[in-house]
Amino acid sequence: MTTFPTARAVRTTPEGLLWEPSERWVRGRRGEVTVVDSRHPVLVWELEVPVPLYAFPREEVREDLLRPAKNPRSGTHSGSRIFYDLEVDGELLENAAWTFPAADLCGHIAFEWLRRSGRGLDHWYEEEEEIFVHPRD
């Protein structure tokens, strides 16, 4: 079971990732399918990327839609440990999700944003408002 941090302080992993618990209710969808619905997301700043992304506790992710990546990417997402393909309504999105190698983020899954990378989840919501490209930090 994932432990949900509650303190509002930016933390640094040994790998150099910055992360911070968020108090926002965040949802990510592909088309009409909700893939993640979380009240315990964390903001993650990857090395040399100026904007954060969200990572989510596994238990708040539709893992039934994830498949081990057939062609895992290399050299992306700060040394990702595991990549996943996402299958929604018969469509397979390669490398749409991943985990980080950092022990601090163990048990969390991050997703690509369609408007940020050209693939991934296409609708994101913080509370009731749709957001685009990246989370507010």
pLDDT in tens, 53-88: 999 999 999 999 999 999 987 766 656 679 999 999
* pLDDT exceeds 80 at position 108: yes
The pLDDT, as a whole number, for residue 114 is 78
Asked if residue 109 is part of any domain, the answer here is yes
Asked if residue 86 is part of any domain, the answer here is yes
The pLDDT, as a whole number, for residue 46 is 85
Residues in the chain: 137
Asked if residue 111 is part of any domain, the answer here is yes
Q: Parallel, antiparallel, or unpaired: how do β-strands 42-45 and 33-38 relate? A: unpaired
Asked if residue 4 is part of any domain, the answer here is no
Asked if residue 118 is part of any domain, the answer here is yes
What distance lies between CA 48 and its chain's CA centroid? 17
> What distance in Å separates the CA atoms of residue 20 and residue 23, rounded to the nearest whole number?
10
Quote the domain boundaries for residue 101.
Answer: 11-131
Domain at 80, CATH number: 2.170.150.40
Asked if residue 6 is part of any domain, the answer here is no
Nearest Cα to Cα of residue 121 among 79, 62, 78: 62
Asked if residue 112 is part of any domain, the answer here is yes
> What distance in Å separates the CA atoms of residue 118 and residue 106, rounded to the nearest whole number?
26
Query: What's this model's pTM, rounded to 2 decimal places?
Result: 0.86
Number of DSSP helices (H) and strands (E) in the chain, helices first = 1, 12
Q: How many domains does the chain have?
A: 1
Asked if residue 52 is part of any domain, the answer here is yes
Model confidence over 16-57: pLDDT tens digits? 889 999 999 999 999 999 999 999 999 999 888 888 999 999
